[in-house]
A = this chain, B = another copy of it.
């Protein structure tokens, strides 16, 4: 059970950084595999900076990498976000909290 928890932590950590969210988003909307250099051209930070972010995203399972020749093609994989979706989904019962808590107490 420990590794599942680790994975969740990795996902939360990966999406915590705004630049990483941007990289991920760019890959999702591109909906085509992109090599690292091409990705990094869209950002102000250095290629190596982008590479580090990509590594973090890959460790979280949010990016898959397919090496072809000298290039490494990255594709977004949103599946791990389901864990975040489920996590946050638990709390949506409490968004209109006053109402719902009242219901709970009555029910």
Contact = CB atoms under 8 A, between A and B. Distances in A.
A94 interface: yes
Given A9-B18, A13-B16, A97 B78 contact: yes
Copies of this chain held together in the complex? 2
Contacts of A91: 28, 78, 81
A84 B78 contact: no
A15 interface: yes
B89 A85 contact: yes
Q: Looking at A18, A28, A31, A78, which has the most chain B CB atoms within 10 Å of its CB?
A: A78
A4 interface: no
A16 to B, nearest CB: 4
A82 interface: yes
A107 to B, nearest CB: 14
A76 B95 CA distance: 11
A98 to B, nearest CB: 11
